[in-house]
Amino acid sequence: MRELVPWLTLIFRDKRRLVVGALLILLTLVSGLGLLALSGWFITATAVTGMLLAAGIAAQLNIYTPGGGIRLFAVTRTVGRYLERVYNHDTVLRLLAALRVTLFQALSSVPGFQRQHLKGADWLARLTSDVDVMDTLYLRLVAPTLLALLLTGGLIAVALFVYSPLMAGFVGALLVLAFLLSTAALHLRNGEVARQRVDGQNALRERLIDQLRGQAELTAAGLLAQTHEDLARQASIWSTDQSRLGRNIAWHRALSGICINLAVLVALWVGLELYRGGAISGPVAVLMPLMLLGMAEVLGPLPDAFGVLGSTQAAARRLNAVSNAEGGEDRGRHSDTAGGTQDASLLLSFQDVSVCREGQVVALEGVTAAIRCGEWVGVVGASGSGKSTLLDVAAGLVEATGGVIARGAGLQRVAYLEQQTVIFNDTVRRNLVPDGRQLDDALIWRTLALVRLDERISQIPGQLDGWLGRLGSQLSGGEARRIALARTLLREADLVVLDEPFTGVDAATSAAISCGMRQYLEGRTLLVAAHDASAMPEVDRLLMLQPPRGE
């Protein structure tokens, strides 16, 4: 349960809302119990009174108070249920917002987080669904459990003071048993399988994606049907395990229901004995069993929550791992920066720089280069030769594992355009100036004209405040790349690093942009990488990168 603590702490920050929400649930549950019990009391009382009246005995019964009470409970149950749902859903949505913002802040405070922790395409979807599980932690798990315990205690107390210790003993024992069956016992049974639910799902997904990617080859080799059968079998195993969770939940709920109904039976019997003994009246003897009938609704939500507690724990554990992530593994901390450069005109210099990834995979080997202020340097090499890694090191995204990097005093800020294009589902303005700083619109339009997108953007509804991405204007591959390029150029930086800036952009437009860039980037240093000299602007110097050994 330890993994849930940080999330519960976060959730309990707004105690007032949680308490009010819990009270509303309590109001609804008590009204439900009260409605049935009071009605039973009322009917028994009227039956007894009616029987006496029919026998000619003068008997009195205040019918207005209980009648009013019954009507009141009916109203409070309905109103309480509605208010409870509205209020608690509002609380849940607030929690969701708080959780997501907190998680985002934790992740963004780790430099290079995405590079290190991006394990597969589904990582993001899993993260989101894990967060979604947390925001119902209170509503589905904590609150119902606490209220069930509270009401169980209340009923035992009523049994003790209104009836007899014997009643309290039996009722208490059976209710506690019902509670344990719905909670702890179920978690013990389901925990392991529930914890592994997501892992199993991901293993399945990875295999499936592999097969889909290679469908042509598999079909050609006549292996497709076989591969599909293997997958179906693996899915069936996973599915059976998960079904077991649902079955256990159903059985435990049924067993818990048996305990409650036996408690009703016992309460009735003991109550009738007390009635026979003259300790209590007939109507009162009916109260307890009817209240116990209502306990089924109180314990109702518990099996569903505890049956999947294992996967809730696993979700919390994953989120903890992600939000406590360290920035950079300890690879025998190689100090790669030798302080400043001796030569003032030198902006950045590499001395025999190597980058080694996990598993002895050499990404960059023994690179020596120097970049002077205001210089335009191009890097070409085959795929796998380490161009992107070199740029990552230059931009400070990745640490070198060997060699020395010296950064000149003039190198304050770097603007980096990565190989993969990122467009946010947001306005054009926010895509171009993500940090939201105030920029002259004229400058923005000038930059858009440079990348030949001024006409395109002026056609979007809202222009600079128009929406890009899904549910907005869709950009083609080349257009998106140019937006990313414009974003990089708009950033005030001493060194501009571009990784394959013209992917998806046709030759004519690339040439035109390259021309305009000379004037735009006057005075700034440029480091650009591509697989070919023709895919980059005209540079002063060209570095040829050899693939590291092993290729």
Which residues does 241 contact at the CB level (< 8 Å), separation at least 6?
Answer: 193, 196, 197, 200
Q: Which of 157, 192, 199, 206 binds other proteins (CB under 8 A)?
A: 206
Q: Which of 254, 344, 515, 544 binds other proteins (CB under 8 A)?
A: 254
What whole-number distance in Å separates Cα of residue 424 and Cα of residue 522? 29
The β-bridge partners of 343 are none
Rounded to whole angstroms, how far apart are CA atoms 243 and 233? 15
Scanning residues 57 to 116, which ones bind other proteins (CB under 8 A)? 61, 63, 66-67, 70-71, 73-75, 77-78, 81-82, 85-86, 89-90, 93-94, 96-97, 100-101, 104-105, 107-109, 111-115
Secondary structure (H, E, C), 286-350: HHHHHHHHHHHHHHCHHHHHHHCHHHHHHHHHHHHHHHCCCCCCCCCCCCCECCCCCCCCEEEEE
Q: What is the DSSP letter of 25?
A: H
Q: Which token pair is 334?
A: 């190689």
Angle between helix axes 224-276 and 184-195 (nearest 10 degrees) is 170
**Best CA proximity match to 266, nearest among 185, 163, 180:** 163
Query: Nearest approach, Cβ of 1 to other proteins (angstroms)?
Result: 26
CA distance 34 to 158: 13
Cβ neighbours of residue 42 closer than 8 Å, sequence gap 6 or more: 63, 66, 67, 70, 283
**CA angle (494, 498, 503) in 5-degree steps:** 155
- Does the footprint of other proteins cover residue 36 (CB under 8 A)? yes
Is 470 an interacting residue with respect to other proteins (CB under 8 A)? yes
Tell which positions 278-337 bind other proteins, by CB under 8 A.
282, 285-286, 289-290, 293
Binding residue for other proteins, selected from 3, 14, 273, 454, defined by CB under 8 A = 273
Residue 232, SS3? helix
443 is an interface residue for other proteins by CB under 8 A:
no
Does residue 269 interact with other proteins by CB under 8 A? yes
CA distances (Å), 181 to each of 296, 485, 518, in order? 13, 60, 74
Q: Does 424 interact with other proteins (rule: CB under 8 A)? A: yes
**Cβ closest to other proteins, residue 231 vs residue 338:** 231
Instruction: Kindly tell me which of 265 and 338 has the beta carbon lying closer to other proteins.
Output: 265
How many C-beta atoms surround the C-beta of residue 465 within 10 A? Answer: 11
* Residue 22 near other proteins by CB under 8 A: no
User: Is residue 246 involved in binding other proteins (CB under 8 A)?
Assistant: yes
Of residues 8, 23, 150, 223, which one binds other proteins by CB under 8 A? 223
From CA 117, how far away is CA 321, in angstroms rounded?
10
- Positions in 344-403 near other proteins (CB under 8 A): 357-361, 382-385, 395, 397
Query: Based on CB atoms, which residue is closest to other proteins, 213 or 518?
Result: 213
The one among 13, 228, 333, 334 contacting other proteins by CB under 8 A: 228
**49, 320, 351, 419: residue in contact with other proteins (rule CB under 8 A):** 49
Choices 144-152, 249-257, 336-344, 371-379 (CB under 8 A): range interacting with other proteins: 249-257
What's the min distance (Å) between Cβ of 249 and other proteins? 7
Give the gyration radius of the chain's Cα atoms. 35
Instruction: Please tell me the chain's helix, strand, coil percentages from 3-state DSSP, rounded to the nearest 5.
Output: 65, 10, 25
Site string for other proteins, 504-533 (x = CB under 8 A): ---------------------------x--
Stretch that binds other proteins, among 152-160, 273-281, 473-481, 522-530 (CB under 8 A): 273-281
Q: Indicate which single residue of 5, 188, 209, 507 sits in contact with other proteins (rule: CB under 8 A).
A: 209
Q: Which of residues 148-187 bind other proteins (CB under 8 A)?
A: none
- C-alpha closest to that of 37 among 300, 297, 283: 283
Residue 178's region, left for phi above 0, alpha for psi from -120 to 50, else beta, is alpha
Whichever of 150 and 231 has its CB closer to other proteins, that residue is: 231
Shortest Å, Cβ 151 to other proteins: 17
Indicate the residue among 194 and 346 with the shorter CB distance to other proteins: 194
User: Residue 498: phi, psi to the nearest 5?
Assistant: -125, 130
d(CA 547, CA 551): 6
Name the residue nearer to other proteins (CB basis): 42 or 179.
Answer: 42
CA distance 291 to 295: 7
Name the nearest CA neighbour of 20 among 76, 91, 77, 72.
Answer: 91
**Tokens of residue 131, six digits:** 């967060």
Instruction: Figure out which of the listed residues 43, 176, 404, 512 binds other proteins, where binding follows CB under 8 A.
Output: 43
**Near other proteins by CB under 8 A: residue from 220, 344, 533, 542:** 220
- CB closer to other proteins out of 66 and 172: 66
- Tokens at residue 494, please? 């001493």
| Under rule CB under 8 A, residue 544 binds other proteins | no
Q: Is 205 among the residues that bind other proteins (CB under 8 A)? A: yes
Quick one: 341 or 378, whose CB is closer to other proteins?
378
Q: Contact with other proteins (CB under 8 A): which of 119, 438, 440, 522?
A: 119
- The reply to whether 253 sits near other proteins by the rule CB under 8 A is yes
Among 416, 429, 453, 501, interactor with other proteins by CB under 8 A: 416
Pick the closer one to other proteins by CB: 257 or 310.
257
- Please report whether residue 235 would count as binding other proteins according to CB under 8 A: yes
